[in-house]
Chain A
């Protein structure tokens, strides 16, 4: 890992050549017969104070990337460098549980399902206060004050501290999850499909809340979602993943206006939009087939069987990630294709 460039000053998190292969075991002896390349050679930076969106279909590896960054999984290979509160850079890749503990307070996660991610037998005081108890720096009274302050921050009444999660709606529970993530003043929050389970009007409220909190505390977000409308609204930059690989990476507005990878184009085209006239124009690209099996990916570019522009080259050679007009693209034909984005 000595050939890596130093982390630029404005970068909070730098991921390089990240890999996670899960073994496939089979038979009575549970011998390893293959591996699932869930994340394969993924590289990206997240700048301080920005929102980075990670998009792709289920099975693309986007959640695995988040779990690797938060070190819920060990890495197969690669490096994750994180800028600490004291501005020093720490490599998270090889750390064990004990070494990770002080760093955990600086990186937090918000989960998709606000029902299963909160223990139904814990009061809000214990749920939101648990990280504070574990870090062991505050007294009981101080923890209570802090929990009440956190509830206020996410727009819940401080009197609710003694209530149980069942008394709250899905949107409110999501706010409880946000308060818990904020408890230790993290600098980085990964949100895995954080608003996907919520109703439209409630999702909008929580997105606005997350944006307010970002402004107030200078938070850096990584948003994992399949909702491209939400991603466009909230992210400064996005990465598009397909079968474990990053296929396009760059500025959100630019990618949405003019995608360079055929998969990005197809994803954007598939989003149903609240505009009935669009249906009559009938210009949607409907991808054939399904996402490739990461245990048995097609040869060449993993997207080639579904790609309307695929050539013989695509079927034999894996395209490299190349830099084209300030963007990273993994496609042999990125320059020649004239792809359609959204908007004017």
Chain B
């Protein structure tokens, strides 16, 4: 791959180009990420939606350089521009390199689905936050502790002066997720990667966490990559959306494009299979036939063709579909993009 290093436009924070990740398993090679390209601009929330196995988490792990040992292919270009003009090439860095360790927890923060497993059970919330601060900032322990308390207050936890000395098991699920957000924000990241942060929470707590993330984002101006399988959550938080299927981005667009004018049959089918509140309950849910194929046997041509209601034999099951551009933001990877019957919203 010959990558001419072009300078990123100043508004660009992160750009992925043709990222590929493969794993070697006993059963064969898993092509987890297949030529994924997307970008994140400063101050925006990019939502990434897809079913399990679509490669959404592996892609962000590749950004953090946290791929497992059995990774057999890991290429493509990942450029990060924390400040305009200051370009860092992330792809190719080893997971233990100084360069990436300086970024993790500092310019890039990450929150996970299960705060109980992501936080250390044997250290207090305060210790965990202070360690991150002491690692990246030149300050005293006392200052770090004050900063930790201030962060806990910022994520609207009650009694932060006491909570700082609590262990994760002493908090409820929603409070733990807040503590994890405080930890991720400890060094004022410019990019926050959130991998299904609300999936394990109740709807009421989920609404609180989404509200908090929106508030913090507006206040700090950071960018967020928000991974979820829930279209409702995406509609609630994202500015732009990338829809992934079997290791590829099949459609990208603004949140309005994706929800009111989806161009890829997969996006449409997914949106129709979610029951919406306030709809008459008589009709049957629309389903996508079959299931996500296993990653050892990715279908030929368009990977979605065996499940697609519009698939044209001879084209869709033979040729890899091109990326069709609709507007500056909206693109769909489909032979029939733009030729699909108009959808009744």
Q: Give me the interface of A with B, judged by CB distance under 8 Å.
A: 57-58, 169-172, 199-205, 207-208, 211, 226, 228-230, 232-235, 252-253, 256-257, 266-276, 278-279, 284, 286-287, 290-291, 341-344
Contact = CB atoms under 8 A, between A and B. Distances in A.
Contacts of A211: 284
A252 B342 CA distance: 32
Interface string B216-244: 00000000000001111111110000000
A271 B231 contact: no
B235 A276 contact: yes
Given A276-B256, A279-B235, A287 B207 contact: yes
B259 A200 contact: no
Contact of B204 (A57, A256, A341): A57
A290 B205 contact: yes
B51 A199 contact: yes
A125 B4 CA distance: 59
A194 B147 CA distance: 43
Contact of B236 (A228, A257, A268, A272): A272
Contact of B275 (A172, A233, A287, A341): A233
Nearest to B202: A57
4 shortest interchain CB distances as A-B pairs: A343-B278, A272-B232, A342-B278, A233-B275
A201 B231 contact: no
Contacts of A276: 235-236, 255-256, 259-260
Contact of A204 (B208, B211, B287): B287
Interface string B245-279: 00000000001100110000000011101111111
A24 B172 CA distance: 19
A269 B204 CA distance: 9
Contact of B273 (A204, A232, A267): A204
Given A57-B204, A275-B235, A229 B292 contact: no
Contact of B203 (A199, A207, A271, A343): A271
Contact of A201 (B51, B203, B232): B51
B275 A230 contact: yes
B286 interface: yes
11 contacts: A169-B291, A169-B292, A199-B292, A204-B286, A228-B277, A232-B275, A252-B281, A253-B281, A270-B204, A272-B206, A274-B271
Contacts of B197: none
Chain A CB within 10 Å — which of B175, B230, B269, B277 has the most? B277
Given A57-B202, A201-B288, A274 B232 contact: yes
Contact of B281 (A199, A233, A270, A279): A233
Contacts of A267: 203-204
Nearest to A233: B275
B236 A279 contact: yes
A287 B279 contact: no
Contacts of A199: 51-52, 229, 292
A204 to B, nearest CB: 4
A21 B217 CA distance: 43
B285 interface: yes
A272 B277 contact: no
Contacts of B292: 169, 199
Contacts of B230: 272
A200 B52 CA distance: 10
Interface in B117-173: 172-173
Nearest to A207: B285
B228 to A, nearest CB: 9
Chain B CB within 10 Å — which of A171, A200, A228, A286 has the most? A200
B207 A270 contact: yes
B130 to A, nearest CB: 26
Contacts of B115: none
A275 B259 contact: yes
Contact of A287 (B175, B204, B236): B204
B30 interface: no
Given A199-B52, A278-B235, A232 B285 contact: no
A257 B174 CA distance: 29
Contacts of A291: 202, 204
A343 B277 CA distance: 7
A61 B51 CA distance: 30
A138 to B, nearest CB: 32
Contacts of B276: 229, 273-275
A211 B237 CA distance: 33
B277 A201 contact: no
Given A266-B204, A267-B204, A271-B232, A201 B281 contact: no
Nearest to A269: B207
Contacts of A204: 273-275, 285-288
Contact of B277 (A57, A229, A266, A284): A229
A203 B231 CA distance: 14
Given A169-B292, A267-B204, A270-B206, 4 more contacts: A57-B203, A204-B285, A230-B275, A274-B274
